[in-house]
């Protein structure tokens, strides 16, 4: 996998829901009043503010209104201008929307700049425009998204589709002028490794890819590219612009200085990135929650490794998926009753596999191994009950243990065959986030599926209309967490 197709950088500190406040809390009445008393506006500053807001398409915010109110000649006008400037500054610094209001669970840390102080200094120095521009993320990925959004704005049509519906399906083995565009989108969606220069012919590799996609979305896997298959593959320029604007907003939500050593998990792409001292040390596939049991967006550190873990089956899984299966099922899966709970004993058939990465959060979410290795071959890997299954988790645990200087303790715990706990000398932050945009080797954004449909509420908050797209099909007989 190209090294550039990695998760967007994530935030540093996990917060509990009880401690969560509005991300725009820095704009409370007292602080704003203080800033209004100190910040002095003149005609040049007003001009700079209007210019910055007129250019808000650079940040994908052109579907929202940021009216500049007030004139610098009066005290009331000064106050109104300050409120206008702070409203736009908050949108750049932390997002125009509040993820804690959009999602039931969102515990990722947010930027906390002192906007009132920053505005005062910018007005005093005459550098308001530069200050506003510096509030948005400064990463190259953000700039690439901005450039792509602006380019689409110059050419987009709300109705034009790159792959038009010609009124009849495309059958396997036939030729159609739309096939090159279909092939490109299959590559972008992950169903093909690369374009094979098949030309207009609907050849067998493409048929297999389309069938795989149809299974994921609950369509009859006959390989026929009809209306429903085109709906999954097709994005108009307006659709693409919408997805890119959402990705930029998600980046604005995040802390600008994540810790150099961390683990990022992109839930939409089902991929893990391990950062060590500011550099990517490892990437691998993961399996995350399916659409009915989504993995939440949260920040939560790993504090210990668990060798040969037991699994205490949650009541929800016990009642829905194990109850009534009988003693034979329990025996085959090495399960026993303990204090009124079903507990699966250590071993290769354990649903947690051979290692668990214990995390600190109130939602019982953690990383772990799995015996269901076949799921890592799937393109859409939203297949679990909410926890995160890691590809070659044993190898990943060994890598962390070596990096943290506890490899000997870890090897002894594993060799015992019994459940064993190995504390990390320092906690490793983990960020579970959601982004449907990856980047190719040239830095161009690649739009992937929105398996949870979580982009819709963000797009609406940014002033975009709803998009009726196909959703990943939930379901399966895997009882793991």
Give the strand pairing for 382-384 and 367-368. Answer: unpaired
Distances (CA, A) of 410 to 151, 276, 366, 394: 51, 20, 18, 11
Task: Report the candidate in 337, 265, 349, 263 with the shortest Cα–Cα distance to residue 302.
Answer: 263
Tell me if 438 sits within 8 A of 448, measured CB to CB: yes
The full length of the chain comes to 481
Distance CA 155, CA 4 (A): 27
How many Cβ atoms are within 10 Å of 120's Cβ, its own excluded? 19
Tokens of 468: 């009726």
Distance CA 68, CA 86 (A): 11
* Dihedral angle computed from the Cα positions of residues 342, 346, 350 and 354, in that order, rounded to the nearest 10 degrees: 140
> Is 387 a catalytic site residue?
yes
Tell me if 278 sits within 8 A of 28, measured CB to CB: no
Tokens of 132: 């506003």
> Is 59 a catalytic site residue?
no
Residue 11 φ/ψ, nearest 5 degrees:
-85, 170
Give the strand pairing for 430-433 and 262-266. Answer: parallel
Distances (CA, A) of 404 to 39, 279, 304, 369, 427: 49, 16, 11, 20, 10
What single DSSP character describes residue 398?
Answer: H
Set 59, 212, 368, 385: catalytic member: 368
Distance CA 117, CA 114 (A): 6
Set 59, 212, 385, 387: catalytic member: 387
Distance CA 169, CA 224 (A): 6
String of DSSP letters for 207-241: HHHHHHHHHHTT---S--B-HHHHHHH---HHHHH
**CA terminus-to-terminus distance, the chain:** 27
Residues carrying an active site annotation: 368, 387
């Amino acid at each position: 996998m190209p090294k550039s197709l990695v998760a967007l950088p994530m935030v540093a500190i996990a917060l509990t829901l009880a401690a969560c406040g509005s991300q725009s809390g820095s704009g409370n009445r007292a602080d704003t009043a203080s800033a209004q008393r100190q910040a002095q506006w003149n005609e040049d500053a007003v001009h700079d503010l209007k210019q910055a807001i007129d250019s808000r398409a650079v940040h994908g915010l052109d579907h929202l209104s940021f009216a500049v109110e007030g004139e610098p000649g009066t005290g009331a006008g000064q106050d109104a201008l300050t409120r206008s400037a702070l409203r736009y500054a908050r949108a750049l610094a932390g997002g125009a929307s509040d993820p804690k209001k959009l999602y039931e669970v969102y515990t990722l840390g947010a930027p906390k700049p002192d906007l009132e102080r920053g505005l005062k200094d910018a007005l005093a120095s005459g550098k308001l425009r530069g200050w506003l521009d510096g509030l948005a993320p400064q990463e190259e990925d953000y700039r690439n998204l901005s450039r792509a959004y602006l380019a689409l704005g110059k050419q987009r049509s709300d109705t034009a589709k790159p792959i038009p519906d010609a009124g009849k399906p495309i059958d396997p083995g036939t030729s159609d002028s739309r096939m090159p565009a279909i092939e490109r989108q299959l590559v972008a969606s992950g169903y093909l490794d690369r374009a094979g220069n098949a030309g207009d012919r609907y050849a067998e590799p493409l048929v297999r890819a389309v069938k795989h996609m149809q299974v994921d979305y609950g369509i009859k896997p006959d390989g026929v590219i009809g209306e429903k298959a085109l709906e999954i593959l097709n994005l108009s320029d307006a659709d693409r612009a919408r997805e890119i604007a959402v990705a930029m907003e998600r980046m604005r939500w995040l802390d600008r200085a994540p810790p150099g050593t961390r683990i990022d998990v992109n839930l939409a792409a089902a991929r893990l990135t391990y950062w060590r001292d500011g550099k990517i040390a490892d990437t691998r596939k993961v399996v995350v929650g399916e659409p009915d049991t989504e993995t939440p967006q949260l920040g939560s550190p790993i504090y210990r490794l668990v060798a040969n873990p037991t699994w205490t089956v949650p009541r929800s899984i016990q009642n829905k998926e194990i109850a009534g299966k009988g003693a034979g099922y329990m025996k085959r899966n090495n399960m026993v009753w303990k204090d009124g709970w079903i507990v699966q004993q250590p071993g290769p058939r354990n649903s947690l596999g051979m290692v668990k990465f214990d995390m600190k959060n109130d939602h019982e979410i953690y990383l772990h191994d799995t015996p269901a290795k076949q799921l890592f071959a799937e393109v859409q890997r939203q297949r679990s009950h909410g926890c995160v299954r890691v590809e070659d988790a044993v190898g990943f645990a060994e890598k962390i243990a070596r990096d943290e200087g506890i490899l000997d303790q870890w090897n002894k715990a594993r060799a015992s065959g019994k459940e064993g706990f190995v504390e990390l000398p320092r906690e490793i932050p983990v960020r579970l986030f959601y982004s449907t945009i990856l980047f190719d080797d040239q830095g161009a954004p690649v739009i992937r599926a929105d398996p949870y449909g979580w982009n819709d509420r963000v797009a609406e908050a940014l002033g975009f209309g709803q998009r009726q797209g196909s959703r990943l099909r939930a379901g399966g007989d895997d009882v793991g967490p």
